Amino acid sequence: KEQITITNDQNRLSPDDIERMVNDAEKFKEEDEKIKAQVEAKNGLESFAYSLKAQLGDQEKLGGKVSEEEKAKMEEAIKVATDFVDNNPNASVEEFDAAKKELESIVQPIISKLYPEGAGQQGGEQGGEQGGEQGGEEKDEL
């Protein structure tokens, strides 16, 4: 009687290799989460700034409702924010959040004058301090 033995040794990961890969994944998990938070903070600032810029350019929306002085002030704040993103791609989450809060602090009072009953309803994320604070909080949870 002949006996055939089949082995699965070729081109397979050994238990040691699998264990090492799992340990590496766990080791880098925290770093990956930090990078993810950083990218989300950067994207939040960038999207807020470009959304405002688009609305300022639209004469039927925000652009047609603010004075030239207010528009210039908002455009300068948007430029500062977008320059920050361009010049500091590896900034920390705290730095991106601080830049976004600074932009909001300049833009929010202007928008609040336009939409006193629900600041930010027209502009999506400009909720900030008054009437639309959930907009900013939801963005942080993405």
Give percent of the chain with pLDDT exceeding 70.
Answer: 76
The residue among 119 and 34 whose pLDDT is bigger is 34
SS3 for the chain is CCCCCCCCCCCCCCHHHHHHHHHHHHHHHHHHHHHHHHHHHHHHHHHHHHHHHHHHHCCCCHHHCCCHHHHHHHHHHHHHHHHHHHHCCCCCHHHHHHHHHHHHHHHHHHHHHHCCCCCCCCCCCCCCCCCCHHHHHHHHHC
Burial (CB count <10 Å: 0-12, 13-18, 19+), residue 74: buried
pLDDT in tens, 75-105: 999 999 999 999 998 899 999 999 999 999 9
Is this model's pTM higher than 0.85 or not? no
What pLDDT score does 63 carry?
79
Tokens 């238990």 identify what position?
15
The residue among 114 and 53 whose pLDDT is bigger is 53
What pLDDT score does 48 carry?
93
Across the chain, what does the average pLDDT equal?
A: 79
